[in-house]
């Protein structure tokens, strides 16, 4: 869009992990939580708002209220199922592996492939790589591989991007990982379920920073016969849940029905405004109630 001489501002609802800050344009990203007035003014003065990678304005909290009150045209580009109808135009497919796959399609449909340079390609590659679990989720179609092949032809160094994202750990992050696996991982064998519980003290002990628990839930999911995995984190003001499943158990439904959340069939999240004991009891009760759905 900048290449088309549009004036563009990127606004995110809250901060994102350090392993994404290498991306071109990072220094210009406005974090709504930190610069509310500036973000609000930009939104209300805008002509067009692209809403990327979320399917409902509720998902972005207060920022959603501002977007809702803006009279700008809104374009949704997203791959989460069942979007609510807050937009004027959309490029939506729940079959797409990543919103970046759809952004690639959008660039193509706008006949702007000539502008798809190396740094844009690197960002799209990173979005597709992370959302496909490094090309292993079943959403990784042959089309995804063709897009990635094109991005490589446009100059993406896949090893460099992989290292920037996955080999950029702090020692505290690795120690939290080790501690979580050895002390905070629970396996409910008869329910094909495994889950982590991390307390506020655990996070403090390992100097938790945003992104430090990213990917942790996949260790629970990697246990033989596990169909459902969760990580339950005691954050400052609420309990945050991440859910993952393999196969037919829909964590999207589970998150939506019981944890004020949502996401995809096999990857979702949610939150409870309760203390940790109450939240954990609720989770365990629901696992017991869903026993028949979890065994396959």
Q: Which residues of 52-73 are buried (b: 16+ CB within 10 A; e: fewer)?
A: bbbbbbebbeebbebbeebeee
**Which residues between 77 and 96 bind ligand 5GP (CB under 6 A)?**
80
| DSSP helix/strand/coil, 42 | helix
Instruction: Decide if residue 229 touches ligand 5GP (CB under 6 A).
Output: no
Q: Which of 132, 140, 242, 266 touches ligand 5GP by CB under 6 A? A: 242
Q: How far is the CB of 262 from ligand 5GP (least distance, A)?
A: 3
SS3 for 119-151 is HHHHHHHHHHHHHCCCCCCCCCCHHHHHHHHHH
Q: At a CB cut-off of 8 Å and minimum separation 6, what does 59 contact?
A: 262
Q: Which residues of 7-44 are buried (b: 16+ CB within 10 A; e: fewer)?
A: eeeebebeeeeebbeebeeeeeeeebeeeeeebbebbe
Total chain residues near ligand 5GP (CB under 6 A): 12
**Which residues between 34 and 63 bind ligand 5GP (CB under 6 A)?**
59
Q: How far is the CB of 64 from ligand 5GP (least distance, A)?
A: 12
Instruction: Decide if residue 268 touches ligand 5GP (CB under 6 A).
Output: yes
Q: Which of 162, 271, 282, 293 touches ligand 5GP by CB under 6 A? A: 271
| DSSP helix/strand/coil, 46 | coil
Instruction: Decide if residue 293 touches ligand 5GP (CB under 6 A).
Output: no
Region of 33-41, 90-98, 186-194, 255-263 interacting with ligand 5GP (CB under 6 A): 255-263
Q: How far is the CB of 113 from ligand 5GP (least distance, A)?
A: 27
Region of 160-168, 176-184, 200-208, 259-267 interacting with ligand 5GP (CB under 6 A): 259-267
Instruction: Decide if residue 127 touches ligand 5GP (CB under 6 A).
Output: no
Q: Which of 102, 221, 267, 294 touches ligand 5GP by CB under 6 A? A: 267
Rounded-to-integer distance, Cα 115 and Cα 1, Å: 9
Whether the Cβ atoms of residue 31 and residue 15 lie closer than 8 Å to each other? yes
The residue among 52 and 112 lying less far from ligand 5GP, judged by its C-beta, is 52
Nearest-10 Cα torsion for 4, 9, 15, 17? 20
Instruction: Decide if residue 173 touches ligand 5GP (CB under 6 A).
Output: no
Region of 149-157, 168-176, 205-213, 257-265 interacting with ligand 5GP (CB under 6 A): 257-265
Beta bridge partner(s), residue 263: 268
Please report, as ranges, the residues that interact with ligand 5GP according to CB under 6 A: 59, 80, 242, 261-264, 267-271
């Amino acid at each position: 869009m900048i290449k088309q001489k549009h004036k563009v501002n990127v606004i995110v609802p809250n901060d994102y992990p350090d392993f994404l800050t290498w991306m071109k344009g990072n220094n210009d990203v406005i974090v709504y939580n930190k610069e509310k007035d500036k973000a609000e003014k930009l939104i209300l003065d805008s002509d067009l708002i692209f809403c990327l990678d979320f399917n409902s304005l509720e998902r972005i909290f207060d920022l959603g209220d501002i977007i809702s009150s803006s009279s700008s045209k809104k374009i949704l580009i997203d791959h989460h199922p069942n979007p609510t109808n807050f937009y004027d135009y959309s490029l939506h497919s729940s079959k797409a592996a990543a919103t970046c796959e759809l952004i690639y399609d959008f660039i193509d449909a706008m006949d702007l492939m000539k502008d798809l340079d190396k740094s844009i390609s690197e960002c799209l590659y990173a979005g597709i790589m992370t959302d496909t679990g490094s090309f292993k989720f079943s959403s990784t179609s042959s089309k995804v591989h063709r897009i990635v092949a094109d991005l490589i032809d446009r100059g993406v160094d896949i090893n460099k991007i992989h290292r920037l994202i996955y080999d950029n750990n702090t020692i505290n992050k690795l120690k939290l990982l080790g501690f979580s696996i050895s002390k905070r991982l629970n396996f409910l064998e008869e329910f094909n379920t495994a889950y982590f519980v991390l307390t506020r003290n655990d996070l403090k002990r390992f100097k938790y920073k945003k992104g430090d628990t990213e990917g942790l839930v996949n260790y629970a999911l990697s246990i033989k016969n596990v169909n459902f995995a969760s990580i339950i984190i005691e954050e400052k003001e609420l309990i945050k849940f991440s859910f993952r499943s393999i196969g037919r158990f829909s964590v999207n439904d589970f998150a939506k029905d019981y944890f004020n959340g949502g996401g995809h069939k096999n990857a979702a999240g949610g939150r409870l405004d309760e203390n940790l004991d109450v939240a954990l009891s609720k989770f365990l009760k629901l696992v017991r109630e869903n026993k028949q759905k979890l065994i396959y």
